[in-house]
Amino acid sequence: MIAKTLMASAIGAEALKRITVFSRGNQNRPTIINVFRNTVNIELPEQGLLVVTAKKIHSPINVVLDEQSFMTELGDLRKLVTPSSKPYINPHRIVLGGLTINLSNANVYVPPHIRDAPIRCRPISPKAIVQVGHRLFRLAWLAGKTLQDAFLEVVDEAVESLYELVSMCTDLPCRVNQGFLKWVGLGTGFTPSYDDFAGSALGVVNVVSEIASGKPALYVSPPDVLGRTVRASALLFLEQARGNVNHAVSNAIVSFCLGDAEPLLDALMDLIPVGHDSGVHAAAGVLSGLIISHSVLHSSVNELIIENALCELFNRVKSIYGKTA
Amino acid sequence: MTSSSIKEEIEKANKLATERMMDSEPHWVDMGIAEKVVPDLKGMKLLHAGPPVTWERASGPLKGALIGAVIYEGWADTPEKAKRLLETGEVVFEPTHPHNVVGPMAGVVSPSMPVFIFYDTKFGNYAYTNMNEGLGKVLRYGAYGKEVIDRLKWMAEVLYPTLKASIDEYKKDHKDGLNFKNLIAQALHMGDECHNRYVATNALLLKELSPYIFSSGIDRKHALESYRFIANNIIFPLNMGMAAAKLMTLAAHNIKYSTIVTVMTRNGTDIGIWISSLGNEWFTGPSPIPKGVWFPGYSEKDANPDIGDSSITETAGFGGFAMAAAPAIISYVGSTVEYAVENTKRMYQITYAKHKYFTIPYLGFQGTPTGVDIRKVVYTGITPTINTGIAHKEPGIGQVGAGIVTFPLEPFKAALRRFAEKHGI
C-alpha cells in the first residue's frame, strides 16, 4: 500500500510534552511495541508510553487520529505500520513506517479534572456509588459485557488490600505493595483484566488525592509490575496509576467530585465499549477507586461504610450474573 | 422476570422486529393533499424532519424551509412576516415521524402540499412523503426564494395531478400499487444504495411508470413536463424510498422488549432516535457536521450540522448501510470505494440481521445490515454511519455539498438506560 498522511484531531498534553522533550536530543529511538487495527503503542525511552489511536479515546498520552479520515483513507493501521520498527517523532509529525501523522491541527487535550480545576470535591456517597455501579454492570450485562470469573474471585481481597493501604498511608505518596499487585497479569486479553482494574483504581485514587491535597496518594515502582504482565499492559498500567487516565475516567472523577450520580453513570458507560472487556474491568477499578477515595478526602471517614460499600459493589455484580454472593 | 429470561425476551422481540421490518411490503398507492390524508395535520401547522426543536434552537436550513412553507401556504407574503408567525407560535411546527410522514433534509411538509401515499400491504400501515424538488436551491435545504416557491407551485399544479393520474392508471394493471421494495432490491444490484444514489431506481421507476403517465389521459404537455422533471432529477425517488423505509421500520415499531432502532433522524441541531419497545420517546444528541465533498465556493465552515429524515433508509437496512453495493456513490459523497465496503462491514457489527431481500453482489450477495440494536452500539461503541446531503448553515441558501456522517453515542446510551429502567433491569 502506498504511504499515507493522516491528520491527528487531538493530542494529549502529556503526549505533546513527551514528544517535545524527546525531540530535543534523546539518542535512543522510540519503539513500536504493538500494532492493532485501530491503535499503535509506542515506547519513548525515559518518557513512557505514547498511544496513537483511531478510536475517539482521549487521554493525556494519546494521539487521536481523525476518525472519519482514518476510516475513509486507511481503515487499518496494520496496513502501513509494523511492530518493532523505529518511528520518527517530532512535535509536528509522527512517522510510523508508511504512515505519517500530521500533528499541526491537533487540539491539545487536557483532562477535565485538570482543565476544570480547582475542583472542590463534595463527593458522591459510597452507597450512591454502589448504586451507580449496580446500574452500570446491569447495563453492561444487557449489552453483553461482563467481568471475568477469575477476576471476580480475587477482587474482594484486592479492594480490601488497596483500602487498607490507602487508609494506613500517612506520608504521601505510599508505595503500592504486593498485597495489591500480586494479581497483575491475571485474566485474559491483551491487557489482562486485573491490570485494567488495578490501573484504573490507582489512577482514580491518585487523581482524587491530587485534587484534594496536590499530591498523589500512591506510587508503583515499575519493577514491581514490569515482569508480571505483557510489556504494553504494564506500561499502560503504570501510566494509569500515575493519573494519566482517559476522558471517561476523568469525567467520572469530576462527576464524583461534583456529587452528580447520573453524569457519573453516563461517563462510566463510555468505558463499556473499550476493548473486549477491558472497559468493564476498568469501570470496576474506577468505582472501587472512588469509594476508597473517601478516605483520601476525609481523614475521619467511617471505615465500616467504605468496607461495606466495596463488599456490596461486587456482591451485587455477582448477583447480576446469577452467582451467589 | 429473571435475568436470563429478559435476554430471551429481547432476542425473541428483536427477531420479530427485524423479520417484520424485512417482510414489510411498501407500495406506492396514491397521491393526496397533506391536510386531507396525513393524520392530525390541520390549520397553521407544519411538519419538519428530526426530533422536536424550538424556533430558538432550530438550525438555519430548518428555519429557512419553515419560512418558505409559510410563504408557500400564503400565511405571509414576506420572509420577515413568516418568521414572526413562527417565532410567536401562530404557526406551529412539529416532527414528521409521529404523523408517519418523512421528508429529506428540513423535511418540511405543509397542509396544502401534495404527498405520496404509501401502504404496507403486509402489515396495513400508511406512510406519507412530499415530492422531491431536485438538487441545489430547494426548500428542503432551507432556500425560500421566488424560484423555490414557483417550483413548488408547479409541482402542485402539474406534477401532482400527473402522478395522481399515473398511479391511478397503474393500479388498473397492478391492484396493490407500485411495489417499492422490489425497486430498491433491484437498484441495489444496479449500483444504487438508495439514500443519496437513486440513478438506477429512477430509471426503474420511469420504466415502470412511463406507459401509465402517457396513457393516463393527463394533458400531454403536462405529462411530458412531468416526465422530464423526474428524468432530470436523479434523486427524485429519494422521498419514495424514505416512505418505503418508514413503513418497514413502522412494522418493527412498538414491539415489547425489542431494542431495535426504528427511527434515526436529524433536524440540523439534534439527532433523535426511537426504539421499538420504547414507543415514540425521543433520545437525542448533538447533530454532527458531515465530512464531505463541497460544491464550488463552499467549505466545511459553511456547513450546517446534519439534517433530515432520510436516515430512515439506513434504519431500514439500506442507504449508507448498503454502500458496498454502490461504489459510484463515492463520487458524490467523497471517500473511497474501500471505505464504502468497509462501512457496510462495520454496520454488521451493530445490526441484528442480514436483510432477506436486500443483498449486495460484491459481498457475495450477503444481506444488507438491518436493524440497529442499541445493545450492540453500546457494546462496540460503533454508531451508525450514513451518507447525506449538506445544507448551508444560513437560511435561504441551499445545498453546499454531500458527505458522510457518524451519529454520536449519547442517544444510544440514553435509550439503553431508559430500556433498563422500563424493564426494571
How many Cβ pairs within 8 Å bridge chains A and B? 69
Gap from B338 CA to chain A (nearest CA, Å): 8
Going from the first residue of chain A to its last (325 residues), give the mean pLDDT of each consecutive group of 10, the final group possibly shorter: 90 95 81 93 91 94 90 89 88 94 95 83 94 97 96 97 93 93 93 97 97 94 93 94 96 94 97 95 98 89 91 94 73
Of B338, B379, B417, the CB nearest to A145: B379
Query: What is the helix (H) or strand (E) element at residue B215, kind and residue range?
Result: helix B199-215
Q: Which residue from A minimizes the CA distance to B341?
A: A72
Do A68 and B380 count as a contact with CB atoms less than 8 A apart? no
User: Minimal Cα–Cα distance from B291 to chain A, Å?
Assistant: 8
Interface of A with B (CB under 8 A): 55, 67-69, 71-73, 75, 135, 138-139, 141-145, 265-266, 269-270, 272-274, 320-322
Q: Give the pLDDT score at A113.
A: 87
If you measure CA to CA, which chain A residue comes closest to B418? A139
When mean pLDDT is compared across A169-173, B8-12, B272-276, B403-407, the lowest value belongs to A169-173
Q: What percent of chain B has pLDDT over 90?
A: 92
Chain B residues within 8 Å of chain A (Cβ atoms): 3-4, 7, 291, 334-336, 338-339, 342-343, 346, 375-376, 378-382, 385, 404, 406, 409, 413, 416-417, 419-420, 425
DSSP-assigned beta bridge partners for residue B354: B369
- Is B406 close to A269, i.e. CB distance below 8 A? no
A85 near A35, Cβ under 8 Å?
no
List the single best residue of A71, A73, A324 to mutate versus B (max B Cβ within 10 A).
A71
Task: Tell me if B338 and A55 make a contact (CB, 8 A cut-off).
Answer: no
pLDDT band at B333 (very low <50, low <70, confident <90, very high): confident
Question: To the nearest whole number, what is the mean pLDDT of chain B?
Answer: 96
Question: How many whole angstroms separate alpha carbon A187 and alpha carbon A191?
Answer: 8
Q: Which of A64, A72, A145, A268 to mutate to test the interface with B (most CBs of B within 10 A)?
A: A72
- Residues of chain A with C-beta less than 8 angstroms from the C-beta of B413: 266, 269-270
Q: Is there a contact between B342 and A141 if contact means CB atoms under 8 Å apart?
A: no
CB contact under 8 A, B420 and A142: yes
At A26 the pLDDT is 67
Max avg pLDDT among A221-235, B184-198, B384-398 = B184-198
Probe site for chain A from B3, B323, B343 (most A CB atoms < 10 A)? B3
Look at residues A114, A137, A110, A121 and name the one whose alpha carbon lies nearest to residue A265: A137
Instruction: Give the β-pairing of A174-175 and A218-219.
Output: parallel
Predicted local distance difference test score (pLDDT) of residue A83: 87
Q: Please tell me the predicted confidence (pLDDT) of residue B4.
A: 67
Question: Which residues does chain A have within 8 Å of residue B338's beta carbon, measured at their own beta carbons?
Answer: 75
Residue B414: the pLDDT is 98
Q: What is the pLDDT of residue B1?
A: 61
Q: Among all chains, which residue has been given the C-alpha cell 424560484?
A: B147
Smallest CA–CA distance from B412 into chain A, residue? A269
Of the candidates A205, A248, A187, A226, the residue with the CA atom closest to the CA atom of residue A58: A248
Q: Are A106 and A11 in contact (CB under 8 A)?
A: yes
8 Å CB contact of A72 and B334: yes
CA distance B117 to B32: 7
**What is the model's pLDDT at position B398?**
83
- How wide is the angle at C-alpha B288 spanned by C-alphas A99 and A250, nearest 5°? 70
- Cross-chain residue pair A72–B380, CB shorter than 8 Å: no
Count Cβ atoms below 10 Å from residue A48 Cβ, excluding itself: 19
- Nearest residue in chain A measured CA to CA from B290: A68
List the one residue out of A188, A158, A161, A145 whose CA is nearest residue A317: A145
Measured CA to CA, the distance from residue A176 to residue A205 in angstroms comes to: 12
Q: Give which of B413, B406, B397, B414 is closest to B59, Cα–Cα.
A: B397
- For residue B336, is pLDDT > 90? no
The model carries a pTM of: 0.94
Nearest to B420 among A68, A138, A273 (CB): A138
pLDDT tens-digit map of B152-181: 999 999 999 999 999 999 999 999 999 999
Choose from B291, B332, B419 for mutation: most chain A CBs within 10 A.
Answer: B291
Angle at the Cα of B367 (from A79 to B24), degrees rounded to 5?
Answer: 145
ipTM here: 0.92
User: What does the alpha-carbon distance between residue B261 and residue B249 come to, in Å, rounded to a whole number?
Assistant: 8
pLDDT band at B399 (very low <50, low <70, confident <90, very high): confident
B380 vs A contacts (CB less than 8 Å): 273
Q: What is d(CA A270, CA A264) in angstroms, rounded to the nearest whole number?
A: 10
Q: How far is B31 from chain A (nearest CA, A)?
A: 40
| Separation between Cα atoms, residue B320 and residue B304, nearest integer Å | 20
Q: What is the DSSP letter of B109?
A: B
Give the distance from residue A71's alpha carbon to the nearest chain B alpha carbon, in angstroms.
Answer: 7
For residue B417, the chain A residues in CB contact (below 8 A) are 135, 139, 265, 269
Of B336, B376, B417, the CB nearest to A72: B336
Task: Out of A68, A143, A274, name the one closest to residue B416 (CB).
Answer: A143
Please answer yes or no on whether B339 and A273 come within 8 Å at the CB atom. no
Cα distance from A72 to chain B (closest Cα, Å)? 5
Residue of A nearest to B339 (CA): A72
Nearest CA in chain A to B334: A72
pLDDT computed for residue B2 by the predictor: 63
Residues from chain B that touch A272, judged by Cβ atoms under 8 A, are 378-379, 381
Report CA Rg, chain B: 20
How far apart are the C-alpha atoms of A26 and A241, rounded to whole Å? Answer: 25
